[in-house]
Structure 1
């Protein structure tokens, strides 16, 4: 019983300290009620060279615009060029074999539902300044 009181007291202390901590955001010093000007979306070139991967299992970045690519439950525009039976004809990189496995590593005939929405992991490359400082350094051969 005494342990519950100690834990509760410690939790209350942490919560009260957090209430006094200064909270910052990417909006800067702008108040919530102020009118916010939205930065323009960075242009993505129609085609560009592929960027090097920075870490093991990093999803490759998309070297072209995805503005006209439609992905919804009934259609995946990425598979028009990248599917296993189409990539040779289009010259696009093939979808990884891991995308045809379910969560139990069973091989499927179509892209697994958990891998169907490509833009959850793969994003277009854009030449944009980082929003926050990043000190990440690629390991070994990565980033070359």
Structure 2
């Protein structure tokens, strides 16, 4: 057993040394010669549209979030989105109720009382809407 472990450890050490050497080399960008100041800045992207909701661009697109969420806590135990959008609170808070699909077990199709774990992390599908210039030119049309 020891005879097998020694070569494996040697290979792992060699790979980690080589990776450290590779990461120390100059990083090349796909943007060409454009510097970071010449592209969209984070402050520009974080501006949320207050004047209304953007239309959906394609069938079954998850709705965009029309407000800031940068301080919202979403982890295994807490989801601040649910304080307004869960079915129990939506009417009182004046917020859209999350879809019934978020309460259905994916495997069995059975309705659940709470949001199913696969739908708990809202930002895996929903993103804040912003009026930002495209990072890359494209010809997409609604």
TM superposition score normalised by structure 2: 0.69
Shift of 1:45: 3.1
Query: Which residue does the alignment assign to 1:117?
Result: 121
Structure 1 counterpart of 2:91, from 65, 88, 91? 88
TM superposition score normalised by structure 1: 0.68
Structure 2 counterpart of 1:126, from 113, 124, 130? 130
- With over 3 angstroms needed to count, the CA separation of the structure-2 counterparts of 1:79 and 1:48, relative to structure 1, is farther
Question: Which structure 2 residue ranges, 5 or more long, are not aligned?
Answer: 1-27
Query: Which residue does the alignment assign to 2:66?
Result: 63
Instruction: Identify the structure with the greater helix proportion.
Output: 2
- With over 3 angstroms needed to count, the CA separation of the structure-2 counterparts of 1:137 and 1:25, relative to structure 1, is farther
The separation in 2 between residues aligned to 1:67 and 1:48, in whole angstroms, is 19
Q: Show CA shifts across 1:69-110 (max 9, x none).
A: 110100000000000010000000000000111212221111
Q: Show CA shifts across 1:38-64 (max 9, x none).
A: 753123237441111111110000000
Query: Which residue does the alignment assign to 1:8?
Result: none
Query: Which residue does the alignment assign to 1:49?
Result: 52
What root-mean-square deviation, in Å, do the aligned CA atoms of Structure 1 and Structure 2 show? 2.1
Question: Which structure 1 residue ranges, 5 or more long, are not aligned?
Answer: 1-23, 31-35, 139-144
Query: Which residue does the alignment assign to 1:40?
Result: 41
Q: Show CA shifts across 1:9-65 (max 9, x none).
A: xxxxxxxxxxxxxxx9643247xxxxx747531232374411111111100000000
Runs of 4+ aligned residues of structure 1 deviating over 6 Å after TM superposition are none
* Count of residues in correspondence between the two structures: 110
The separation in 2 between residues aligned to 1:46 and 1:126, in whole angstroms, is 6
- With over 3 angstroms needed to count, the CA separation of the structure-2 counterparts of 1:44 and 1:67, relative to structure 1, is same
Structure 2 counterpart of 1:72, from 72, 75, 83? 75
